Amino acid sequence: MRYQLRQPRRWYGTLRRATAARAVQGSNSIEGYHASVEDVAAVLDDEEPLDADTETRRAIAGYRDAMTYVLQLASSEPPRTLDASLLLSLHFMMIKHDLAKNPGSWRPGGVWVEDADGRVTYQAPPRDGLEGLVDEMLGQLADGSGVSLVDAAMAHLNLALIHPFSDGNGRMARCVQSFVLARDGLLAPEFLSIEEYLGRNTSDYYGVLTEVAAGSWSPQHSARPWLTFCLTAHYRQAQTVLRRIDEAAALWDRCDALVRRHGLPERSIGVLCDAARGWRIRRSLYVKAVRSSVGDEITDDSATRDLRALSAAGLLDPRGEKRGRTYLATPQLRAAWEEIRNHRPTPVVVDPYELAQLKLPGLG
């Protein structure tokens, strides 16, 4: 993946935007906040989603703020280390829309996790030793193992099991995992994140956490099942991203050909890629999508002219009036994406540990 993404290419901006949206969508869906990738991308761009309700929008916006801060800190020189004050700051950004959940503060008392039937499945450690456990976790993270994927997974596990907050512990644990990956600079964290995978495999995610937690705070238990799960998730998510890299390049080329054929602005290619995938386009989102895909800053008037030209060329279909107007892909544009999807190989679920043993006999 690093070879494919070692330098931004023409389709990099649209792929990165969609990948970030899927990661945020996955993490929030685990907590019951469901929104389309299109609506999540809108919130990430500070736009109103078309379908998501107010509570979901606020949850996504909070997670966006925390992750944006994580990315800013990770790119600083020297990179910011994770400490207790940063944890509390990230939690406030994430949960600030609900003051009843004590955003930016440690939980005031005991806390536990219940299943759908109200049975307690995990009892977190007592409140009186909370700060010490957090400090120990941060100290272990600072020492590190030298393997970023392992350090990030252990930070996720330890924070989730310490359960230091009244609410938002899962989102914070996933955010911290992304922080470690971003801090170590392997790739843009959007492409390394396993949050989308966790959202698609929530039952397995909860299952392995329950297995390792064993009902109550038990730090003597082995974390091997959790590490196996996380490394498998990274492997499988990487396969998904590699497929999307190829598809993004192919879709960009097809939209590029359509733009050239109709004499349209080159800056509209990324927006056409979004529309071909089924996203609804608005003028304000067009301006931001152009910025993220090609780096151009355009005015609202320029966006309006572009959208009219795309509609006149038979690539976008306008719906609604005035501020409520959106644009959908026409059959001609949708056909470009459908052709790519029709050539998508049948997915094969691979266990990387079995694969490693097949390739390296004797590896146990």
The tens place of each residue's pLDDT in the chain, 364 residues long, gives 666 665 556 667 788 888 889 999 999 999 999 999 999 999 988 888 888 999 999 999 999 999 888 888 877 777 778 899 999 999 999 999 999 999 999 999 999 998 888 889 999 999 999 999 999 999 988 887 778 899 999 999 999 999 999 999 999 999 999 888 887 766 566 788 899 999 999 999 999 999 999 999 988 899 999 999 999 999 999 999 989 989 999 999 999 999 999 999 999 999 999 999 999 999 999 998 888 877 789 999 999 999 999 999 999 999 988 778 999 999 999 999 999 999 888 877 788 888 766 555 554 4
Radius of gyration of the chain measured on its C-alpha atoms: 22
Q: Where are the domains of the chain?
A: 11-223
Which residues make up each annotated binding site for ATP? 167-174, 205-206
In the numeric block, which tokens belong to residue 319? 């719906």
Rounded Cα distance, 307 and 300, in Å: 10
Cβ proximity of 246 and 263 under 8 Å: no
Query: How many other C-beta atoms lie within 10 A of the C-beta of residue 67?
Result: 28
Which residues make up each annotated binding site? 167-174, 205-206
**Rounded to a whole number, what is the distance in angstroms from the first to the last CA of the chain?**
27
Cβ proximity of 127 and 63 under 8 Å: no
In the numeric block, which tokens belong to residue 200? 């698609």
Among the listed residues 116, 118, 161, the one whose alpha carbon sits nearest the alpha carbon of residue 140 = 161
CATH dotted code for 11-223: 1.10.3290.10
| Residue 291 CA neighbour count, 13 Å, CB half | 11
Cβ proximity of 272 and 328 under 8 Å: no
Q: Which residues are annotated as catalytic?
A: 163
3-state secondary structure at position 129? helix
Across the chain, where does the E strand assignment appear? 112-114, 120-123, 316-319, 326-329
Calculate helix-pair angle for 202-213, 12-30, nearest 10 degrees. Answer: 60
Q: What is the DSSP string of 178-221?
A: HHHHHHTTSS-HHHH--HHHHHHTHHHHHHHHHHHHTTB--TTS
Cβ proximity of 189 and 81 under 8 Å: no
Among the listed residues 225, 122, 101, the one whose alpha carbon sits nearest the alpha carbon of residue 171 = 101
3-state secondary structure at position 304? helix
Give this prediction's pTM. Answer: 0.89
